[in-house]
Amino acid sequence: MSEQAQPAENQEQVKEWIPKTTLGQLVKEGKITNLKEIFELGYKIKEPEIVQTLLPNLKTLLVGVRVVQKQTDAGEKTRFRALVAIGDQSGWFGVGHAKSMNTRTAMDKAIRNAMLSIIPVPLGCGSWECRCGQPHSVPYVLEGKTGSVKIIIYPAPRGLGIVAAPHIKNIISLAGIKDAWTKTFGMTSTDISMAFAIYDAFKNASKVITV
């Protein structure tokens, strides 16, 4: 199950935000103005409002919602598990999931968790067929794995598009990647594993780039 990317949470939450961390205070006071600076300084993001403030054009994608049932002494307890991917379509990406008694709350919690997990994604033109120098693809091969699911993202020439199943394409495009070849292995229809495999690929790449 997936939906078209939508704007992240209502920006009214940012206006009412009272920072609880030093980083949050620095962002609210305008002393830190972009996520790149946060990563360079080695801060850990503990407030989703930081991401909301610095990435006002953040998009969210509901990857899937599933019913989770648990047997208790009082009977069967039903909750909903939501999986959300976020990105600004310009080099930032995150994934989060959460459970709750209702779908809306599960989605809101998943969005907040995704913001706390946001990471930089390297963009470039690593295709030998293109060499245009524009940040439309990935600069080199990215590989990620979660459970039995594995994905490899290859640089592609400009104009090709993302060659992947629709649900995979929608997730990858949130990071700002417009052209790429992909190869997947395992149970790729498993929403959670596929989304986190993509996240793992981007996270592995962020370890070797300067943000």
As a whole-number percent, the residues of the chain with pLDDT over 70 amount to: 88
Per the structure, the complete domain to which residue 116 belongs is given by: 6-120
CATH of the domain at 195: 3.30.230.10
103 and 172 assigned to the same domain: no
Q: Is there a domain that residue 39 lies in?
A: yes
CA distance readout (Å), 192 to 2, 41, 64, 105, 168: 12, 31, 8, 18, 11
* Domains of the chain: total: 2
Residue 143 has pLDDT above 60, yes or no: yes
- Where are the extended beta strands (E) located within the chain? 6-7, 59-72, 75-87, 92-100, 119-120, 142-146, 149-155, 162-163, 180-185
Asked if residue 191 belongs to a domain, the reply is: yes
What's the pLDDT band for 69 if we cut at 50, 70, 90? confident
Inside any domain, residue 128: no
Same domain, 96 and 148: no
**pLDDT given at position 210:** 35
pLDDT of amino acid 78: 86
Same-domain check for residues 73 and 171: no
One domain, residues 146 and 49: no
pLDDT in tens, 101-134: 999 999 999 999 999 999 999 999 998 888 888 9
pLDDT > 50? residue 12: no
Q: What gap in Å lies between CA 6 and CA 9, rounded to an integer?
A: 9
Mean of pLDDT over the chain? 88
Query: What's the mean pLDDT in 175-184?
Result: 96
Grade residue 183 by pLDDT with cuts at 50, 70 and 90: very high
The verdict on residue 116 lying in a domain is: yes
